[in-house]
């Protein structure tokens, strides 16, 4: 494998070391008043965050990335997937699995033996933050996406999320946050451009989707880099590393990344 791009390896390392999800089980898309959004800023270190993606025309899901042992220590989810059995070496279909969605870039699997085990380690309630608002959701299924080159992950599918009302889904938390949707974050986005400019790598020639901030909670800013067009496996993809971020504005200091998750759709390991 060639040397990974500095930008993407930073994303992976930050996602694995800055904020590790410990996680907790099933839910429904509705505005969150029944679990009233927190008015005061909570301790972010006690909150588990996951990225949320529209993976295909059929599947929207909370994504739990699976990590290579060379990048980070294994999570419980890495361990659960590694315990799966395969019919032969090199197979990407565990025994007892079947494809449930092949309409997107990923061929998404259902593995009967995995669902119950994963549900023991995921939360009972999550809050999905879209570009326009927040909703509480229910998990429909625990699925799996395995690819030789792209990011592998567990997908906790969402049965319904009103994108007209809440916008495109970006990330979720297991505790409610009162995110303010200010609308104009040009000053913060300028700092993000400067921060990203400090990282140069082998893959800078690839298309880059500008990072956009959509909301904040106190000194924490929520952002994404995504054109939301890659869900269909058609044509050349411009968004090769769809990402979700939380940035923290240090008091009397610079903007720093607090949390990040990203998908590698380019396939760096195979390049």
Per-residue pLDDT tens over the stretch 226-268: 999 998 776 678 899 999 999 999 888 899 999 999 999 999 8
Do 140 and 242 belong together in one domain?
no
Do 247 and 139 belong together in one domain?
no
Do 33 and 121 belong together in one domain?
yes
Do 108 and 199 belong together in one domain?
no
Q: Tokens 């901030």 appear where?
A: 213
Q: Which of 256, 188, 257 is nearest to 216 (CA)?
A: 188
Do 214 and 241 belong together in one domain?
yes
Alpha-carbon distance 101 to 57, whole Å? Answer: 9
Domain boundary among 173, 194, 220: 173
Do 167 and 66 belong together in one domain?
yes
Asked if residue 5 is part of any domain, the answer here is no
Alpha-carbon distance 149 to 21, whole Å? Answer: 24
Residue 65 pairs in a beta bridge with 153
263/1: higher pLDDT: 263
Domain total of the chain: 2
Alpha-carbon distance 99 to 110, whole Å? Answer: 6
**Per-residue pLDDT tens for 174-199?**
999 999 998 789 999 999 999 988 87
Do 168 and 204 belong together in one domain?
no
Alpha-carbon distance 271 to 267, whole Å? Answer: 7
Domain coverage including residue 205: 186-270
Domain boundary among 139, 173, 207: 173
20/262: higher pLDDT: 262
Do 153 and 42 belong together in one domain?
yes
The first and second tokens of residue 260, run together, are 């990040």
The first and second tokens of residue 18, run together, are 């800055």
Do 70 and 146 belong together in one domain?
yes
Do 134 and 77 belong together in one domain?
yes
Domain boundary among 138, 173, 208: 173
pTM for the whole structure? 0.85
Do 135 and 195 belong together in one domain?
no
């Amino acid at each position: 494998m060639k040397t990974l791009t500095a930008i993407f390896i930073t994303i992976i390392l930050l996602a694995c070391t800055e904020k590790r999800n410990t996680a907790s089980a099933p839910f429904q898309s509705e505005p969150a008043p029944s679990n009233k959004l927190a008015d005061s800023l909570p301790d972010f270190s006690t909150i588990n965050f996951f990225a949320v993606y529209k993976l295909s025309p059929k599947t929207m899901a909370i994504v739990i990335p699976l990590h290579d042992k060379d990048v980070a220590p294994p999570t419980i989810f890495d361990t659960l997937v590694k315990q799966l059995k395969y019919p032969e070496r090199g197979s990407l279909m565990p025994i007892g699995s079947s494809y449930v969605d092949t309409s997107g870039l990923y061929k998404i699997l259902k593995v009967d033996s995995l669902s119950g085990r994963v549900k023991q380690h995921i939360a009972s309630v999550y809050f999905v933050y879209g570009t326009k608002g927040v909703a509480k959701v229910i998990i429909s299924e625990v699925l799996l996406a395995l690819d030789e080159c792209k990011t592998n992950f567990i997908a906790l599918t969402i049965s319904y999320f009103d994108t007209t009302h809440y916008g495109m889904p970006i990330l979720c938390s297991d505790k409610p946050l009162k995110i303010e949707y200010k609308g104009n974050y040009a000053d913060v986005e300028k700092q993000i451009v400067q921060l990203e400019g400090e990282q140069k790598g082998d893959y800078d020639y690839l298309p880059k989707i500008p990072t956009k901030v959509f909301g904040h909670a106190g000194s924490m800013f929520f952002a994404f880099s995504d054109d939301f067009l890659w869900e269909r496996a058609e044509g050349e993809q411009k968004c090769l590393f769809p990402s979700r971020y939380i940035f923290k504005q240090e008091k009397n200091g610079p903007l720093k990344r607090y949390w990040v998750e990203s998908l590698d759709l380019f396939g760096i390991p195979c390049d």
